[in-house]
């Protein structure tokens, strides 16, 4: 891993996560688990005209998974769901500003995986 994996911005998101909580009656929600480390995240999306109008998450996890979920839910607002589905690990690394390395990539991408599965469920 890079020495400065715990950049101030990630720690700040971890300590004060954005969009933490539930959406009542969301367009779709999805629960995702990282059984290796016990990270546990549920994402809630409201989708309007093919774009994310609101995104929230709940759950527990490490600084990387919670920090990433906080940043991702910020970034999703207004984004077309087709664009979200096309996102990959590289976009998450860019968003975090650090490369967590192969061992922690699962933590970093947990919320994205959950969001993409939610969109898949939404589309049916």
Partner 1 sequence: MPGLDAEKVRRDFPIFRIKVNGKPFVYLDSAATSQKPKQVINAISRYYKTYNANIHRGVYQISEKATEAYEESKRKVASLINAASLEEIVYTRNTTESINLVALSWAEQNIAKNDRILISELEHHSNIVPWLMLAKRKGAIVDYIKLDAKLCKFDDASVEKGLEKNPKLVAVSHCSNVLGTIIDVKSVAKKAHVVGAKVLIDGAQSVPHMRVDVKEIDADFFAFSGHKMLGPAGIGVLYAKKSLLEEMPPVLGGGDMIRSVEHFGFTANELPWKFEAGTANIEGGIGLGAAVDCLKKLGMDNIRAHERALTKYALERIAGVGGVDVCGLPVNHVDNRVGVIAFEILGVHAHDVASVFDSEGIAVRAGHHCAMPLVVETLHKPALSRMSFYVYNTESDIDRAMDAIRKVKSIFKIKDSARARV
Q: Which residues lie near partner 1 (CB under 8 A)?
A: 1, 3, 5-6, 11, 15, 36-40, 60-64, 100, 103-104, 107
- Beta carbon nearer to partner 1, 15 or 83: 15
- Beta carbon nearer to partner 1, 60 or 83: 60
Strand order in the sheet with 51-60: 28-34, 39-48, 51-60
Q: At closest approach, how far in Å is the CB of 37 from partner 1? A: 5
- Beta carbon nearer to partner 1, 39 or 115: 39
- Beta carbon nearer to partner 1, 23 or 104: 104
Q: At closest approach, how far in Å is the CB of 32 from partner 1? A: 15
- Beta-carbon count within 10 A of 72 CB: 28
Q: What are phi and psi of 32, to 5 degrees?
A: -130, 145
Nearest alpha carbon to residue 14 among 49, 61, 46: 61
Q: At closest approach, how far in Å is the CB of 3 from partner 1? A: 5
Q: At closest approach, how far in Å is the CB of 31 from partner 1? A: 15
- Beta-carbon count within 10 A of 103 CB: 10
Is the separation of the CB atoms in 91 and 109 below 8 Å?
Answer: no
């Amino acid at each position: 891993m890079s020495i400065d994996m715990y950049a101030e911005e990630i720690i700040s998101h971890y300590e004060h996560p954005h969009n933490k909580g539930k959406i009542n009656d969301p367009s779709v929600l999805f629960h995702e688990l990282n059984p290796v480390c016990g990270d546990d995240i549920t994402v809630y999306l409201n989708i309007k005209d093919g774009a994310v109008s609101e995104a929230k998450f709940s759950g527990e996890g490490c600084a990387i998974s919670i920090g990433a979920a906080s940043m991702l839910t910020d970034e999703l607002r207004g984004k077309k769901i087709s664009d979200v589905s096309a996102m990959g690990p590289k976009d998450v690394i860019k968003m975090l500003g650090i490369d967590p390395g192969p061992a922690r990539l699962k933590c970093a991408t947990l919320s994205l995986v959950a969001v993409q599965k939610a969109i898949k469920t939404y589309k049916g």
